[in-house]
Amino acid sequence: MTDYNTIRYEIDDGLLRLTLNRPDQMNSFTVEMAGELEDAYNRASSDDAVRVIVVTGEGKAFCAGMDLSGEGNAFGLDESLTPTMEDMGSWPLRPEIESGVRDTGGQIALAMYDCLKPIVGAINGAAVGIGATMTLPMDIRLASTKARLGFVFGRIGITPEACSTWFLPRIVGLEKALELFYRADILSAEEALEVGLVRSVLQPEDLVEEACTLARSLVKDRSPVGIALMRQMTLQNSAQPHPRAAHEVESLGVFYTSQEDGKEGVAAFLEKRAANFTGKASKMPPFYPWQKG
């Protein structure tokens, strides 16, 4: 099944179900879980057996936030350091910055951003702090009526993380993002729906099945290479200052796909039959990745 301690990684016919699996601790977040989630998203991105991903939590909670029960710095940070913006901008990061400063939630968010497969969230219960922010890089979020979402960083005197100051305004707009961060309230599923954080609210017993049905519908009869490029092109190009950046990437996207799965797709269209795509996301066209690390 899986070689992870804090999550389950289960593939069924192209769908990866990723389950946060510390139910007795409300799936609270640890440094170990951070590393396992980042690894799981990277693995899913390159594994052709995975076409789409559904993420949920075992038991009552989705993820109740950072596990604050440990000793020392609650966030695992090395308080002897005095890091600067220059330190954070020097990639690859120096080892002590990587291990003692770098936000673990952000590492997961960037792995999700880079992922070549669509990600659907099935938020089954409390999703608080990192439990809330780790859902933002997903393509679609579904919530059960028992879901609760809270960007609670302000309550404990810290700041948002997991790239949420980039993702949240793109999902709910700048003003609502600011207010959600200031207020740090725990939202009900209905409130999360109203503010635009989740796509729909479902009965708890239907949540995961609906999420899987939706997830499969996104990739059915599609080219894995086409889906991967669409995800990366949309996420990356839409944030560029000028549409010409999109034009340059899109030109290569059509150029290369039209010679692979596109040939079969056009033939199938003209012959009025189903297409049989053979491309693999593990073999992306040569211009990918177009943004250098």
By CB under 8 A, what part of segment 227-266 binds a second copy? 227, 229-231, 233-255, 257-266
Site for a second copy in 48-67 (CB under 8 A): none
Q: How far is the CB of 153 from a second copy (least distance, A)?
A: 7
Q: How far is the CB of 43 from a second copy (least distance, A)?
A: 21
- CA pair distance 22, 58, nearest whole angstrom: 7
What is the contact mask toward a second copy in residues 3 to 42, using x (rule: CB under 8 A)? ----------------------------------------
Site for a second copy in 152-171 (CB under 8 A): 153-171
- CA pair distance 32, 30, nearest whole angstrom: 5
End-to-end CA distance of the chain: 32
Site for a second copy in 264-293 (CB under 8 A): 264-266, 268-270, 275, 277, 279, 286-287, 290-291
Q: Which two tokens stand for residue 152?
A: 């609670």
- Which C-beta is closer to a second copy: that of 5 or that of 99? 99
Which amino acid, 72?
G
- Which C-beta is closer to a second copy: that of 58 or that of 230? 230
Q: How far is the CB of 205 from a second copy (least distance, A)?
A: 25
- CB atoms near residue 272 (< 10 Å): 6
What is the contact mask toward a second copy in residues 105 to 144, using x (rule: CB under 8 A)? -xx-xx--x----x------------------x-xx----
Tell me how far CA of residue 205 lies from CA of 25, 124, 175, 208, 216, in angstroms.
Answer: 22, 10, 34, 8, 19
Interaction between residue 74 and a second copy (CB under 8 A): yes
Q: Taking contact as CB under 8 A, which single stretch among the options 5-13, 37-45, 203-211, 220-228 is the one that binds a second copy? A: 220-228
Q: How many helices (H) and strands (E) does the chain have?
A: 12, 9
Q: Residue 62: name the closest of 149, 186, 120 by CA.
A: 149
With CB under 8 A as the rule, give the number of residues binding a second copy: 111
- Which C-beta is closer to a second copy: that of 78 or that of 190? 78
Interaction between residue 217 and a second copy (CB under 8 A): yes
- CA pair distance 229, 113, nearest whole angstrom: 12
What is the contact mask toward a second copy in residues 168 to 187, using x (rule: CB under 8 A)? xxxx-xxx-xxx-xxxx---
Q: Residue 64: name the closest of 150, 173, 189, 167 by CA.
A: 150
- Which C-beta is closer to a second copy: that of 4 or that of 222? 222
Tell me how far CA of residue 103 lies from CA of 39, 131, 160, 277, in angstroms.
Answer: 15, 14, 10, 39
- CA pair distance 11, 17, nearest whole angstrom: 6
Q: How far is the CB of 182 from a second copy (least distance, A)?
A: 4
Interaction between residue 99 and a second copy (CB under 8 A): no
